[in-house]
Amino acid sequence: MKFAPRAKALLTGLALLTGACAHPLSAEQTGPADGSVAENQPRNIIFILVDDLRFDGMGFLQPELQTPALDRLARGGTYMPNTLVTSSLCSPSRATILTGMTARNHGIVDNNDSSEDGLTFFPAYLQQAGYDTAFIGKWHMGAASDEPRAGFDKWVSFKGQGSYYPNPDAPQGRETTYNVDGKVVPQRGYITDELTDYAMNWLESERDPDQPFMLYLSHKAVHSDPLPAPRHAGQYDDVVFDLPASSANTPENYEGKPLWVYNQRNTWHGLDFFYNSDMSMQEYLRYYYSTLSSVDDSVARILAYLEANDLEDDTLIVFTSDNGYLIGDHGLIDKRNAYQPSVQVPMLVYAPGAVPAGVVNPGRIRNLDFAPTFLSLAGVALPAQFEGHNAWPLMTGTMTTADWQPDDFIYEYYWEWTFPMTPGTFAIVRDNLKYIQYYGVYDIEELYDLSQDPEEMNNLIDDPDYLDAKIELRQALFEQLADQDGRHVIPYTKRHSRGSVRRMEGGTRAADFPDRWYVEPNRLDRLDDIFADSPAKEAAHERGEAMSEFPVLGTGSNSVEQASKGLE
């Protein structure tokens, strides 16, 4: 397995954690692990999902980060660096995790309201097998509702993205609240801590101790704008983080890249104007990683509970993220696209006695494989609509990565009007070749050999040595993007070539964007463009005011100093 340069710190990171030699063990080197606990009795499952965490955002990969609890999971469990999401966006990814289906089949394709009708979430099958189940945290999937969903005995959630801090002075209807088992409860504390409190209370006193349990703990952190708890504010003020070499605005970095990539640089999801602010990525990462520290505290509390109650050997912990995060890679930030830092997510698997300790397992799994794995652990037959596979044999080392032989990795992202700078994107990875095509834009395709070019800098799409591979991957991608009824959700035809994209040398150049789209950074109305048009919004803009003020991270009400005043 060849890791990207930023992940090469693992070669020394895990060695330091385990006291081993400089090279991490592979799953094959450790030999089979004993998975008999899962065979003899149902294993408890704790699934910890964070939001927007970059694949290398843990201390054992970046020594400047302080994540002792996550490092403990890596030291006592297995790190799976080749974990990918089939849609790199909150709602579609969460729907895939919960349903075991791809976006083209579950139908939740963006972060706007969509229907959950007809969907069954995997904890419902665990309930039928006698599990006590709890969902605590961010749902943000389908209809914008915090109402309890089927499949969970315990429910704690909030509407939309939620808020890091309570806002007791908010106008009526905009207060920060939770839905706790169908009842509205005010938010009183910092969200990561409060969600953990709910989780711990359920573990300690609400669940049936005679039944196996499944806790789905879904954190808001570290989604933008990340505000840390007061105790972690300023934690990384003196740290200088490494940024990817491809973040530089140079002709070399954009050679072979589609036009949309360069055009996105000066947008909401571009490095030069991200989230319409003039904040540097260095400053943003200091907030981002200090916000992660409360998640690490949460993991520490869970581990302490399991240890104190002799539950470690009976419990599987999976820690991962709903999507990756770019920090300037190719001039981009956030997620959505098919580049590796967008689709690759952190993944730690911890189950003492079953999952090997201190191991790096390069086997490729997808968020599509989580639900089948959890049901298989419970001895539940997989429902017909599931599209993934049981990855437990891979996780435990009873199946080598060579024998795992994963399916092609298929990626789908459907264009959103709310953030239109990223085009509809379809991709396939087979034998370390990644092919990317775009829907509805006047642009080039991409082809990368990830084994030789993990940073995706050398586009091979017009290299004659890769002609056969290009044709093969186009065909395979088209075939596999068909839904369960053999249809393509967006009506489109198979691509045979790059299309008629030529322009006359010396002729008319590409058009610029409208003048009114060019604005100063840090405006209070930076989110207004995604709010529904209305007379009230028009009137506010005529007065020179924001429809809804949203200060830039670290300023005004969007700062730890001001937001923490709402804490009780």
> Any idea which of 137-151, 179-193, 284-298 has the lowest mean pLDDT?
137-151
| Mean pLDDT, rounded, for 524-553 | 92
Place of tokens 């999401």: 85
Tens of pLDDT, residue by residue over 238-281, are 999 999 999 999 999 999 999 999 999 999 999 999 999 999 99
Tokens of 265: 């640089």
What pLDDT shows up at residue 470?
97
Neighbours of 419 (CB within 10 A): 18
- DSSP for 143-172 reads SS--S--TT-SEEEEESTT--SS--TTSPT
User: How many whole angstroms separate alpha carbon 112 and alpha carbon 95?
Assistant: 13
| Closest residue by Cα to residue 347 from 40, 67, 57 | 57
In this model, does residue 294 exceed pLDDT 60? yes
Place of tokens 């999952």: 355
Tens of pLDDT, residue by residue over 387-428, are 999 999 999 999 999 999 999 999 999 999 999 999 999 999
Contact 347, 58 (CB under 8 A): no
Contact 395, 78 (CB under 8 A): yes
Tokens of 443: 């642009």
pLDDT band of 91, cuts 50, 70, 90: very high
Contact 558, 548 (CB under 8 A): no
- DSSP for 177-188 reads EEEETTEEEE--
> Any idea which of 16-25, 440-449, 474-483, 490-499 has the lowest mean pLDDT?
16-25
Tokens of 368: 């599509």
In this model, does residue 3 exceed pLDDT 80? no
Residue 212, amino acid: P
Mean per-residue pLDDT of the chain: 91
pLDDT band of 32, cuts 50, 70, 90: very low
Tens of pLDDT, residue by residue over 310-346, are 999 999 999 999 999 999 999 999 999 999 999 999 9
What pLDDT shows up at residue 502?
85
pLDDT band of 490, cuts 50, 70, 90: confident
What pLDDT shows up at residue 504?
86
> Any idea which of 47-61, 184-198, 201-215, 522-536 has the lowest mean pLDDT?
522-536
What pLDDT shows up at residue 503?
83
Tens of pLDDT, residue by residue over 96-124, are 999 999 999 999 999 988 899 999 999 99
SS3 360: strand
| β-sheet bridge partners, residue 158 | 138
Contact 83, 366 (CB under 8 A): yes
In this model, does residue 361 exceed pLDDT 80? yes
In this model, does residue 87 exceed pLDDT 60? yes
User: How many whole angstroms separate alpha carbon 195 and alpha carbon 470?
Assistant: 47
Contact 450, 433 (CB under 8 A): yes
SS3 61: coil
- Is there a cis peptide before residue 225, judged by omega within 30 degrees of 0? yes
- DSSP for 242-279 reads ---GGGS--HHHHTT--HHHHHHTTSTTBTTSGGGS--
* Domains of the chain by residue range: 44-243+273-404, 523-559
Q: What is the 3-state secondary structure (H, E, C) of 501-523?
A: CCCCCCCCCCCCCCHHHCCCCCC
Reported pTM: 0.93
Q: Which CATH architecture has domain 44-243+273-404?
A: 3-Layer(aba) Sandwich (3.40)
Neighbours of 113 (CB within 10 A): 11
What pLDDT shows up at residue 14?
52
The alpha carbon of 223 is separated from its chain's Cα centroid by a whole number of angstroms, namely 10
What pLDDT shows up at residue 316?
98
| Mean pLDDT, rounded, for 428-451 | 96
Place of tokens 């989604």: 223
Contact 30, 286 (CB under 8 A): no
In this model, does residue 185 exceed pLDDT 70? yes
